[in-house]
Structure 1
Amino acid sequence: MKSLVNGSLEGYQIKIAKFKDEFIWHTHEKEDEFFLVISGRVDLHVKQNGKVEVFTLNDGEGLVVPQGIEHMPVSKGISNVLLFEPATTLNTGNVINEMTVEEIEKI
């Protein structure tokens, strides 16, 4: 996943990201995360109450993943996604690994 910051509003960042393939399961303990698919298709896998539910988002469709909910985006092919989240939000949430991006390129 590659993200670019396109602007900010009241401590939130507006990010444009390219999703491809399967990301990782992660949680944002204190932040809600809004996904809006600009083009492509993203399956958001969400774990709640011991069950996995998949929300399929196509062009123009969005979803808020509430704080504390474990989730994993999956995109077959490349999808362009707008994210709206607090500026402090790490892309990998509670997981720090080689996919973690601490400084996002600004456009």
Structure 2
Amino acid sequence: MSNEPIALGEALASFDALWSPRIVTRVNDYDVRIAKVEGEHLWHVHDDTDEFFLVLDGELCISLRGPAGERTVRLPRGSVFTVPQGTEHKPYAPTGAAILLFEPAGTLTVGDRHDEIPDHVDATTGHALGSAGTGARATER
């Protein structure tokens, strides 16, 4: 991790892959990740951790399934939302978005429980900023 300031706009401009987060820094045992997203992710659950989202640009929607039924939250630029651990959710961005995520290091982007992983979703614990990534189903650290 760098001990220099990181300009998020420049960091986002350094890669094009969608649904393939880059780790920009670490806070204690948590990764701070940025990602470009467009279209749908997949329904999944993180059994042991919450998932924090900050929308840097565009709009992100997150569908949630819980005991009270299904609902969708819409997050315009500048909004934050935390998906509680154990909550089934599916992020999507019809017109694209840039997001920042905060979650424990080693957390898989597709969660602990999910359906089949579509080819456009990178199943990863995050790529180092500046790495090319390896596309879908990558799991590098």
Could you tell me the TM-score, scaled by structure 1's length?
Answer: 0.92
Identity of aligned residues (%): 31
The answer to whether structure 1 residue 37 and structure 2 residue 55 are counterparts is yes
Between Structure 1 and Structure 2, how many residues are aligned? 107
Are the aligned partners of 2:37 and 2:98 in contact in 1 as well (CA < 8 Å)? yes
The aligned residue for residue 8 of structure 1 is 26
- The aligned counterpart of 2:64 is 46
Which residue of 128, 134, 139 corresponds with 1:105?
128
Rounded Cα–Cα distance in structure 1 between residues aligned with 2:86 and 2:110: 13
Greater strand share, structure number: 1
Q: Which runs of 5+ in 2 are unaligned?
A: 1-18, 131-141
Q: 1:19 aligns with which of 37, 45, 70?
A: 37
- Structure number with greater Rg is 2
The 3-state SS of whatever aligns with 2:21 is strand
CA RMSD between the two structures: 1.5
More helix by share: 2
Give 3-state SS (helix, strand or coil) of 1:41's partner: strand
Partner residue, 2:133: none
Q: What are the Cα deviations for residues 63-96 of structure 1, in whole angstroms up to 9, with x where unaligned?
A: 0001100000010122000000001210000237
Give me the TM-score of the superposition, normalised by structure 2.
0.71
| Structure 1 residue ranges without an equivalent (≥5) | none
Deviations 1:40-64 (A, max 9, x none): 0011100011611100000000100
More relative contact order in 1 or in 2 (CA 8 Å, sep 6+)?
Answer: 1
Partner of 1:86: 104
